[in-house]
Structure 1
């Protein structure tokens, strides 16, 4: 097995353990047992478990950024924002353990690079010509409000998986409410 293959196998096993059991479920002992290697082998590829967990989260979120960026590319203005919003909430819904790690890191710092990139994309979009003169807030403030609302909507989806009764359209409802306050003449997203 090549070094690259071993690194990928460790990452894949850690990813699956985190998905099933949360971050605490991805222990060095469990990963080594599943793969059939010793701890020194694991630590040869990943200096510590935090580095490995960070890599797992970054890989998962890179996938959502790809989907989100495709949303940005296929739509402009409000449509692009909505497509990116939907992709982000799909990630929160489909990958609750990964989203939980990302949300915790975002709240407790330092903010993950990938979260910083997504916020910058919101800032760039809302400072673009489609929004010039149409926002009730400065574009950067509007981007922070919308991005924060997306984080909150993702956390609500986590709570929904724990039994909180929410509208099936809660993500759309939050998006439409925030956008209508930022752009009073915003058409409702479908």
Structure 2
């Protein structure tokens, strides 16, 4: 990325933080960056393309902070930290955030999909420990939707009783919907064995025309292992 292009991006981002996208003109950007209008158009085409590039820059900064933190030994702690970081970034950089998540097709940007991939990775680790109620992709969609909606609401509402503790309450509500309340105990293995034995008994009492003989044999073998 050329220095001039980055200077234009930085100047635009600074203007947006103060005035908002509707109030910022190409003339304002030129004055702030010390360039001419043809230079801006050369690098970005028009204002729409410039704002799209600023959104991409916002994602770059956001993901850079995420990737700078290595996963901890506790995926649940990482999930909590991810929520806090997401909401915190939006409140600290409202103009960036509105461009990143408050525009049509925002979720289709490659950087947005990368953020989703990071979240799914954390949830995969939680699923491996038996602490997830839903498949990781479904849980990620719920958590991300709640985080974005909460952050945009906090940006649009004035501070007061309506917003006090909102981010924490929303986090607790959505985490409660996708996570098991307690870590798996030794009794979970016994419960799984009981369920396997019950299913074995059911299969022995009925025909399974939905399954081929090979599929039925594989299923029975797996259930016997779980039952033992």
| TM over 0.5, shorter chain | yes
1:62-105 deviation digits (Å, cap 9, x = unpaired): 22222233456245311111111111111111111211122223
Match of 1:152 in 2: 149
Matched, 1:4 2:8: no
Match of 2:133 in 1: 136
Matched, 1:169 2:165: yes
Q: TM-score, normalised by structure 1?
A: 0.82
Whether the 8 Å contact between 1:75 and 1:83 is mirrored in structure 2 is no
Map 1:17-166 to 2 at 5 A.
17-71=15-69, 73-74=71-72, 76-105=74-103, 108-109=104-105, 111-128=108-125, 130-132=126-128, 133-160=130-157, 162-163=158-159, 165-166=161-162
Whether the 8 Å contact between 1:69 and 1:84 is mirrored in structure 2 is no
The count of residues paired between Structure 1 and Structure 2 equals: 181
RMSD: 2.3
User: By how many angstroms is 1:35 displaced?
Assistant: 3.6
Q: TM-score, normalised by structure 2?
A: 0.70
* 3-state secondary structure, aligned to 1:134: coil
CA distance in 2, matches of 1:145, 1:179: 9
**Bigger-Rg structure (1/2):** 2
Structure 1 gaps of 5+ residues are none
Whether the 8 Å contact between 2:55 and 2:96 is mirrored in structure 1 is yes
Q: 1:12 to 1:141 in 2, by over 3 A?
A: same
1:158-188 deviation digits (Å, cap 9, x = unpaired): 133x34643543222211221122123158x
* 3-state secondary structure, aligned to 2:45: coil
Q: Which has the higher contact order (CA 8 A, sep 6+)?
A: 1
Match of 2:200 in 1: none
